[in-house]
Amino acid sequence: MNHFAYRERLQIMKNNHFAGMLAGFIGGLLGAYVLGNFDGRALMPPASAATPQQDVVSAGRVRLVDAGGKVRAELAISKDGGPALFFFDSAGRNRLVLGLYSPAESEFPFVVLNDTQQHAAGIFRLFGGHETPVVVLKNQGRDRSIYGLNASSTEPFLTNYAGDGKRLDVFGKF
């Protein structure tokens, strides 16, 4: 093959490559436009008049199970009457709870992190008449450190508890 024919074929290949890239780019833009403006409801068959639309599900408990059938999360009313979302690890242990305390505790919101023994290890909640935030850090079910805003004065405090249970107010009053 002579040099001229080689250069001519190379130019054709470059043009074809550029045309392919341009077509792909335009196709991608067109596809993005179509998907962005696509109304999937147009392809769904219309609901018959005999089946009314249900937009409310009522249940006392809703469970989320994994592929093996283990409960991994549960939305339920706790024993004391507060609603909560409970999360379970693969061993079935309750590890995280998001919810509201019972009406007896003013239905304050809370987040509880549980250790592998299912003891509360950390609690974040509102407390008292001013609904002040409080973080409680625990070990083996015992309070070790409490940080938050005082329920009466709303002043910050930090209180620690030694291994023997002795209380130390680092600053402010709990």
| Spacing of C-alpha 87 from chain mean position | 11
Nearest to 135 by CA among 159, 161, 99: 159
Determine the pLDDT at residue 55.
Answer: 80
pLDDT tens readout for residues 116-142: 999 999 999 998 888 999 999 999 889
Contact 138, 120 (CB under 8 A): yes
Q: How many residues does the chain have?
A: 174
Strands 83-88 and 61-65 come out as: unpaired
Contact 92, 112 (CB under 8 A): no
Determine the pLDDT at residue 121.
Answer: 93
pLDDT tens readout for residues 71-86: 999 999 988 889 999 9
Cα–Cα distance, 42 to 29 (Å, whole number): 22
